[in-house]
Amino acid sequence: MKRVLDAVVFDLDGTLIDTAPDLHAHLVAMLQELGRPALSLAEVRPMIGDGARVLLQRGLEASGGVPAGIDLEDLYATFLARYTRDPHRHGAVFEDAREVLEQLRGRGTALGICTNKPQAASDALLRAAGLDALFDAVIGGDALPVKKPDPGHLGAVLARLGATGGRAVMVGDSGNDLAAARAADIPCVLVSFGYTQVPAAELGADRVIDHFRELPEALAALADLAAGPA
């Protein structure tokens, strides 16, 4: 008997939406206010994926180090507030992602987001991109005591989707996504076009896709591997 997936959980930045242009713009604006040289988009892309606080820290280190006498928490709060107000001016939803999400929902698959991006910024980004209505559960990186790669983060999304018994797949772009999926004992699909310092093809995911149109076929192939009884 062919198994059917109950849920698919997605990472956000670099998986569903190319957020790097907006994160880059906000980071550069803050660095320039501090008298720092601007970083290129190519320099910033590999810094994304572990949350806005880590992105800011990496940006400061790459542009000359953390300034003496600067309160990093205050700086982070300012950066996050600015980004949350304007998260989707330059970026874009990846090609065919919206159509694939609608297709999955049409088949009765519950969809969730497991992201290290803070909750308010995640919600604001999904609204601005017009994707918010497609997801049944969104849990950001500051909503729980743990975040990816801790499996408790992914587990909380699965629980909210009612998929704790298995028949779920994680879709992401980095080692954090793969590690969370492995620890939660569910298969993982990685996209090759996301934000990761190690290429997705080298991380050991169950499937790697180069375009969103390849996702339905990958999910169908992994349905038999998903945990839970047939």
Widest pairwise Cα distance in the chain: 64
Calpha distance 160→164 (Å, rounded)? 9
Active site residue 11: yes
User: Residue 215: exposed, middle, or buried by beta-carbon count in 10 A (0-12, 13-18, 19+)?
Assistant: buried
In the block, residue with structure tokens 């906000």: 26
Q: Give me the DSSP letters along the chain.
A: -----SEEEE--BTTTEE-HHHHHHHHHHHHHHTTPPPPPHHHHGGG-SS-HHHHHHHHHHHTT-PPTT--HHHHHHHHHHHHHHS--SS-EEPTTHHHHHHHHHHTT-EEEEE-SS-HHHHHHHHHHHT-GGG-SEEE-TTSSS--TTSHHHHHHHHHHHT-TTS-EEEEESSHHHHHHHHHHT--EEEETTSS-SS-GGGTT-SEEESSGGGHHHHHHHHTTTSSS--
11, 18, 22, 206: the active-site residue: 11
As annotated, the active-site residues are: 11
